[in-house]
A and B are shown apart, each in its own frame.
Chain A
Amino acid sequence: MAQLEEVTIDQYRHLVSERALTGETMLLNMGPQHPSTHGVLRLLLELDGEIVVNCIPDIGYLHTGVEKNMEAKTYQKAEVMTDRLDYMNTMGNNLAYVMAVEKLVDLDVPPRAQALRVILVELQRIASHLVWLGTSGLDLAAMSMFLYCFREREQILDIFELVSGQRMMTTYLRPGGVWRDVPVEFEKAVRDFIKIFPKRIDEYESLLTKNPLFIDRMVDIGYLSKETALSYGVTGPTLRASGVDWDLRKKRPYLGYDQYEFEVPVLHEGDTYARYLVRIEELRQSLRIVEQALNKLPMGPVRSENRKFVPPPRSEIGVSMEALIHHFKLWTEGFPAPDASIYSAVESPRGELGVLIAGDGGPKPRRVHMRTPSFDNLAVVPELVKGHLVADLVAILASIDIVLGDIDR
């Protein structure tokens, strides 16, 4: 096994300023166990008094080898690993993965399944933004936000439990459709949420948006320019708050996003406050999409009829020999995918969530790479925090909305 060596300044000599070597500035560990790092993230800070001179993120504490594990599983079974990546966006991760598999094997998805996917993924976006709002409020001493946001998030998780049996690790979206049709209570549960939520967003805003303490902590803090953002590969709300109008749902519509009316909020300030405003507006827009998709929800099958990739329904197995064979083959061996590679991307709450799958002709992938947005979004943090106070670092980190499971994989 690996021998762990003591960490010395020599390792970081090329990353810190000259003054750290003479002891004029101080090196301080923030994390890995620190409530403001939103997980197990270690930041090595070089401080001049309370001002951050350099910030060196150290990641990998949550590295679980998801990509390696997926190579050892069939395409269907590897899907459960995707839930565990970004645990705030489980439906979205499922979506990114199943869309990549569908593209690799050229599988069609019925319209009802597509609309259900849109509803669930947008609800997940709201849930994810609610966790962000709650925890970043907590970081800036707005304690009550946490309770309010988790109250509404719970309502969404109840809907997920209704459709999939699980609150978080859903694995509800499957290659070729969804696991099963939604129960009859689903529509009422979503309608209740749609009815109640706009008022709740107004409540959050009345607590935070014009609160002078909040504005003082956020305006002109952590400025991210358009050029820096693009060069670092930053995507999602963080990029849109820096004045780049880029949302994959609008620019490269998948799942029929082009048939729903919604706006993509873009702000040009590029500071922490702009990132806050963009996400608040996204809550409203996601709710609009959920409502439209629910109104238009077509009837029909929820999974593809292509039996070579999608298992037959339980009712058929008892009466059809073909169905039994397909069921057996799919759950023991899995389905083969071509020896080729594809890249497919969706817009997750944090940015571009891309999946690169290379098949090898057999039922297991040769390589699955998850291009997770938090990884690139965190890489830009050292640029943002330079010259700010340690307390501002907390606000900046919160506004980037990182999830460590997403970074470490």
Chain B
Amino acid sequence: MEKALEPIVKELQEKFGVSVEEFRGEAQCLVKPEHIVEALTTLRDTHQFELLSAQTAVDYYPQTSPRFHVVYQLTSLAKNLSAQLRVPVNGDQPRVQSAAGVYKSAVWRERELLDMFGIEFEGHPDPRRILMPEGTEGHPLRRDFPLGYEEPQFSFNYKEIDLRKPYAKE
């Protein structure tokens, strides 16, 4: 962990009881779901983390509690520091408070997470799918969502497989 990050992590530990994991010099702070918006606000307002570089999720299926980690990668331009917050979320009905009020970039990122992982964000201003069309079933980036494949067609079974294919026939 970088020297300048240590007091900031310490403050987060005291205020929000975060636990810290370190790997290859990167600190990953696990925050409880109820504290995330406060923690982000603190980092933005008092420690100059102006940029929410990335917001994404990791699916630890088949583990169910917690199943997901919502990852917030923050960057401070003034101090040239990076910090990572992680919110563990359970598998059934995953819900997190929306960070859209703190960082505007969270609006699209959270729509993507809703679309791809089915994680709902409380208080999100525009909760629609973003990449998949409206009405899609399932959430493609979950580990239990099948990748899908196409059956190879040969001359002897071409028509048989063609009939099963899901594209429009008319």
Spell out A's residues near B (CB within 8 Å): 1-5, 11, 14-15, 59-60, 63, 65, 67-69, 71-72, 103-104, 106, 228, 230-233, 235, 244, 246, 251-252, 338, 340-343, 345, 352, 354, 356, 358, 366-367, 369, 371, 375-376, 379-380, 408-409
Contact partner of B26 among A5, A67, A252, A342, CB < 8 A?
A342
Known contacts: A231-B103, A340-B23. The answer to whether A69 contacts B131 by CB under 8 A is no
- The reply to whether A60 and B71 form a contact with Cβ atoms under 8 Å apart is no
Return chain B residues, CB-CB under 8 Å to A375.
Answer: 108
Task: Contacts A343-B84, A379-B108 given; indicate if A14 touches B126 (C-beta within 8 A).
Answer: yes
B41 CB, min distance to chain A CBs, angstroms: 13
Residue of B nearest to A383 (CB): B104
Q: Is the CB of A230 within 8 A of B50?
A: yes
Nearest Cβ in chain B — how far from A153, in angstroms? Answer: 29
Interface centre among A5, A251, A379 (most CB of B within 10 A): A379
The residue among A14, A15, A342, A369 with the most chain B CB atoms within 10 A of its own CB is: A369
Whether A367 lies near B53 (C-beta < 8 A) is no
- Residues of B whose CB lies within 8 Å of any CB of A are 23-24, 26, 28, 50-54, 56, 58-60, 71, 73, 75, 77, 80, 82, 84, 103-105, 107-108, 125-126, 128-137, 140-141, 143, 145, 147, 166
**B131 and A352 contacting across the interface, CB-CB below 8 Å:** no
Q: Decide yes or no: A251 and B135 within 8 Å by CB, A1-B166, A103-B24, A342-B23 being known contacts.
A: no
Partner of A341, one of B28, B128, B129, B145: B28
The distance from the CB of B106 to the nearest CB of chain A, in whole angstroms, is 9
Neighbouring A residues of B130 by C-beta, 8 Å: 59-60
**Residues of the B chain whose Cβ atoms lie less than 8 Å from the Cβ of A3:** 135
Residue contact A343 to B26, C-beta cutoff 8 Å? yes
CB closest residue in chain B, given A69: B147
* Most-contacted residue by chain B among A5, A68, A106, A352 (CB, 10 A): A68
A231: which B residues are within 8 A, CB to CB?
Answer: 50, 103-105
Q: How far is the CB of B46 from chain A (nearest CB, A)?
A: 16
Are B50 and A371 closer than 8 Å at their CB atoms?
A: no
With contacts A345-B53, A369-B56, A371-B53 taken as known, whether A106 is within 8 angstroms of B77 at the C-beta atoms is: no
- Chain A residues contacting B56 (CB-CB under 8 Å) are 356, 369, 371
Q: Indicate whether A233 sits within 8 Å of B73 (C-beta atoms), given known contacts A60-B132, A251-B80, A343-B26.
A: no
CB distance from B69 to the nearest CB of A (A): 8
Q: Which of B71, B75, B129 has the most CB of A within 10 A?
A: B75
**Closest residue on chain B to residue A378 by CB atoms:** B108
Not counting A4-B134, A59-B130, A63-B132, a sample of 13 additional A-B residue pairs whose C-beta atoms are within 8 angstroms of each other reads A1-B166, A3-B135, A14-B125, A60-B131, A103-B24, A235-B51, A235-B53, A341-B23, A342-B23, A343-B26, A345-B53, A371-B56, A376-B108
Contacts of A67 in B (CB 8 A): 141
Q: In the assembled complex, which residues on chain B have CB atoms less than 8 Å from the CB atom of A69?
A: 147
Q: Inside 8 A of A103's CB, which chain B residues have their CB?
A: 24
Q: Cβ of B105 and Cβ of A379 under 8 Å apart?
A: yes
17 example contacts (A-B, Cβ-Cβ < 8 A) are as follows A4-B135, A11-B134, A60-B130, A60-B131, A60-B133, A68-B147, A106-B24, A338-B23, A340-B23, A343-B54, A343-B82, A352-B53, A352-B75, A354-B53, A367-B141, A379-B104, A379-B107
8 Å CB contact of B73 from A104, A235, A343, A408: A343
The chain A residue with its CB closest to the CB of B149 is A72
Knowing A103-B24, A342-B24, A376-B105 are in contact, say whether A366-B135 is a contact too (CB < 8 A): no
Interface core residue of A231, A338, A375 (most chain B CB under 10 Å): A231
Q: Are B73 and A72 in contact (CB under 8 A)?
A: no
List of A residues within 8 angstroms of B104 by Cβ: 228, 231-233, 379-380
Report chain B residues within 8 Å CB of A4: 133-135
- Bound Cα distance from A230 to B56, whole angstroms: 18
Evaluate contact between B80 and A233: CB separation under 8 angstroms. no
Give chain B residues whose Cβ lies under 8 Å from the Cβ of A232.
104-105
Complex-state Cα separation, A3 to B135, whole angstroms: 6
* Chain A positions within 8 Å of B53 at CB level: 233, 235, 345, 352, 354, 371
Q: Which residues of A contact B24 (CB under 8 A)?
A: 103-104, 106, 340, 342
B54 and A371: CB pair below 8 A?
A: yes
Chain A CB count within 10 A is highest, among B51, B71, B84, B105, for: B51
Chain B residues with CB below 8 A from A106, complex form: 24
Across-interface contacts of B82 in A (CB, < 8 A): 343
Which A residues are CB-close (under 8 A) to B134? 4-5, 11
Contact pick for A65, options B28, B71, B77, B140, CB 8 Å: B140
Shortest A6–chain B CB gap in Å is 10
Smallest CB gap from B112: residue in A: A375
Q: How far is the CA of A196 from the CA of B108 in the complex (A)?
A: 42
A409 and B108 alpha carbons, distance in the complex (Å): 14
- Inter-subunit contact A11/B54 (CB<8 Å): no
Q: How close is B142's CB to chain A, nearest CB, in angstroms?
A: 10
Q: Does B133 lie within 8 Å of A354, measured CB to CB? A: no
- List chain B residues, Cβ under 8 A from A352: 53, 75
